Structure 1
Amino acid sequence: MITLTRGALAVCVLAAALTAACAPARSSREAPRPAPSASSPAVPSPPTLAPGPAGLTPVFDHGPRTGGRTVALTFDADMTADQGPRAEAGERFDHPRLIAALRELKVPATVFMTGRWAEEYPDQARSIGGDPLFEVANHSYSHYAFTADCYGLPTVSGDRMRADVERAYAVFRKVGVRDPMPYFRFPGGCYDRQALKALVPAGVTAVQWDVVGGDAFATDADAVARQVLDGVRPGSVVVLHCTRSAAPATERAVRAIVPELRRQGYRFVKVSELIGAERGGAPPTGK
């Protein structure tokens, strides 16, 4: 997804999405997970939430506000299904310097990756997925919207929503992403009851956020950093972007955000750790 700074909530020429959705109530019970096969050793399942009201896909937007100062930085690796020609023409939808900065700063993070992005940058997708500092989650295959009127994005029909999510997981397997998480972020953050119902068979927890980074198309890294620092509370999920052409200031902003939040006593964790704490597990430790 793509978000814009305060006061600039306009549809962008690049059909990028920003935040607008409201999350339903969350449950602290874990959703059922399939048992391991007899031929493979048991591996702990990632924490998920139980179905939401009326059995719909659960939605998570932040972790517990008590139990310590933890925050999850999340990065959307956006590329829509129809942007191949732009990539061929030289537009860069990846952001290697941002990933390098996170590694340098030793910041755990969750990357919500589209299947199309993983197809375009398979080596980077595999590297991120194989690094224990990160976890890869699903941002759809196409980055098309799951509702109508979502910031100019093309839309996925209701009968194709589950398939779009599962296609992304298939691409992750094909390019060698290790153990992608059962978490899904709606393109643009746009969802409704139909979308939540359509994704129930996929077994995912939808992950939103409570802090908008405002880095989409921003060139002022200090402004992005201020917006994040002003919004973070214990348990926050921050949405930023891992797309060089659409979010060129993100790496510089992260280099300002991380030391300041650490100075304030915050510890960085992955989304899975916040979800685990939300459902009643051990408090996240972080870095």
Structure 2
Amino acid sequence: MTKIAICAIALLLVVTTLLTAAPSEELQALSSRIAKEFAGKTPQEWGENSTGVRTRLATGDKVLALTLDACGSPKGKGIDQKLIDFLTQQQIPATLFINARWIDANPELFKQLAANPLFEIANHGMRHKPASINGRSVYGIDGTKNIRELVEEIELNARKIEGISGKRPRYYRSGTAYYDELAVQVANRLGHDVIGFSVLGDAGATLPADKVKAALLSSQPGDIVIAHMNHPEAGTGAGIMAAIPLLKKRGFRFVRLSDYQLQ
């Protein structure tokens, strides 16, 4: 066997070890402590509006919170650059919920977004799983199977975001935005507010532009809008860009989640 082949095998072993390494002892201790706290508890709720999920801003001001997800699935690692450029040019703030897989696929773009003061970065999990403490599923997607896996789903991406951006995220939205009420409490223990929505902007990036526009134009003061920034082929961007000037004419302002209390 040549020296080059031996070196290649050694490098592969190192990479494999890194990818399969167990979480740090600190993370294990955190998972164990939270698992012990919730031991024997059984969730009673499952959905987008489980107890503790924040769905609106606590204000009567004429403001809207635009939240954009980047899910990082094999078909969802793109970026709607036209939409991001529009928000930047028009100085429209937004909260970006970003999954670890999307970060890995777009590392330099993530750094640019994190450095843009218009945007705040939020946690969309490591593997885009529904937030369950007992493996509930939705839309054919398996949720986290237990407390430990849920802690890793949230905490590993929080640490990833903080390691790159220098700022730990305050907000978490699970893959599919489904939760049981105990999973919401676990996220709270990890320092995250769990964010739902009150305006379904693009139905998972499946709506055409006219329906996205109509959804946003139905907004009321204090609404949280959910849409996606990782599907440039969808009608999401065009619909948002069409709606924002009309909403501004109606007197609405756009804000980040951190600009207001949540309810």
Alignment pair present for 1:110 and 2:95? yes
Alignment match of 2:227 (pick from 235, 240, 244): 240
Alignment match of 2:152 (pick from 132, 155, 163): 163
Residue 58 of structure 2 corresponds to: 64
Moved over 4 A (4+): none
The offset of 1:65, in angstroms, is 4.3
The offset of 1:207, in angstroms, is 0.8
Q: Are the counterparts in 2 of residues 65 and 234 from structure 1 also a CA contact under 8 Å? A: yes
Distance 2:124 2:63 in 1: 23
Residue 208 of structure 1 corresponds to: 196
Question: Does the C-alpha gap of structure 1 residues 228 and 23 become closer, same or farther in structure 2, counting only changes over 3 Å?
Answer: farther
Alignment pair present for 1:79 and 2:72? yes
Distance 1:143 1:134 in 2: 21
Alignment match of 2:245 (pick from 259, 262, 274): 259
SS in 1 for 2:138: coil
Q: Are the counterparts in 1 of residues 187 and 193 from structure 2 also a CA contact under 8 Å? A: no
SS in 2 for 1:110: strand
SS in 1 for 2:128: coil
The offset of 1:105, in angstroms, is 1.7
Structure number with the higher helix fraction is: 2
TM-score after normalising by structure 2 = 0.75
Q: Deviation per CA, 1:136-169, whole angstroms, max 9, x where unpaired?
A: 0001111012231211113212221111111112
Q: Are the counterparts in 2 of residues 218 and 224 from structure 1 also a CA contact under 8 Å? A: no
Alignment match of 2:48 (pick from 9, 21, 24): 21
Which amino acid letter does the alignment assign opposite residue 108 of structure 2? D
SS in 2 for 1:179: coil
Residue 123 of structure 1 corresponds to: 108
TM-score after normalising by structure 1 = 0.69
Q: Are the counterparts in 2 of residues 23 and 208 from structure 1 also a CA contact under 8 Å? A: no
Question: Does the C-alpha gap of structure 1 residues 198 and 219 become closer, same or farther in structure 2, counting only changes over 3 Å?
Answer: closer
Aligned positions, number = 214
Residue 28 of structure 1 corresponds to: none
The offset of 1:118, in angstroms, is 0.8
Alignment match of 1:145 (pick from 116, 125, 130): 130
Q: Deviation per CA, 1:211-264, whole angstroms, max 9, x where unpaired?
A: 10125343621111012212x11111000001126x621111111111011011
The offset of 1:210, in angstroms, is 0.5
Distance 2:207 2:57 in 1: 30
Residue 93 of structure 1 corresponds to: 78
Distance 2:185 2:206 in 1: 35
Greater Rg by CA: 2
The offset of 1:20, in angstroms, is 4.7
Distance 1:219 1:64 in 2: 28
Note the aligned Cα RMSD (angstroms).
2.1
Distance 1:197 1:256 in 2: 38
Point out where structure 1 has 5 or more consecutive residues left out of the alignment.
1-18, 25-57, 280-287
Alignment of 1:154-193 (within 5 A): 154-158=142-146, 159-174=148-163, 176-193=164-181
Which amino acid letter does the alignment assign opposite residue 48 of structure 2? A
SS in 2 for 1:142: coil
Q: Deviation per CA, 1:80-103, whole angstroms, max 9, x where unpaired?
A: 4xx3xx6xxxx7432222211111
